[in-house]
Amino acid sequence: MVDFHHANLGVPVDGVDAEAAFLIDVLGYRRVSVDEQLQRMGANWFEADDGSQIHLSPDPDHRPAARAHVAVAFGSELDEIERRLQKSEIAFDSSQRPGFPRVLFCQDPAGNRWELRGDQGSKTDSINKTDSIKA
């Protein structure tokens, strides 16, 4: 059985703190405590309630990908994530199509793209829109 463990995201060298705040304050991850050896290696690890992790790698040549992104399912908690995005003044787009979950699209402080997914929509949903919401 395949089990997702982590995604490693590049961030600007001076961007780790801003990225950590996004992961913790907006998405609800928690910082993983690491031993001294991993600290010396620069480990910056964050974990969700399901055990999946995001690792951050400072990169002096960081350039966000044009299309690649991280997709995370928040289910019924997506409304709370949306509130946190608004409170943090992070711009996002929202999309809901019949038969698909509501999805929020945003960029983190390093410019990495995120797809934040809600509960699966009903095939009879009448909503078919894309709203741009700018903070």
Side chain identity, residue 93:
D
What is the tens place of the pLDDT at every residue in 69-120? 999 999 999 999 999 999 999 999 999 988 899 999 999 999 999 999 998 7
What is the tens place of the pLDDT at every residue in 21-77? 999 999 999 999 999 999 888 889 999 999 999 999 999 999 999 999 999 999 999
Domains and CATH numbers, the chain: 6-60+67-133 (3.10.180.10)
E-strand ranges in 59-128 read: 69-75, 92-96, 103-107, 113-118
Max Cα-Cα span within the chain: 54
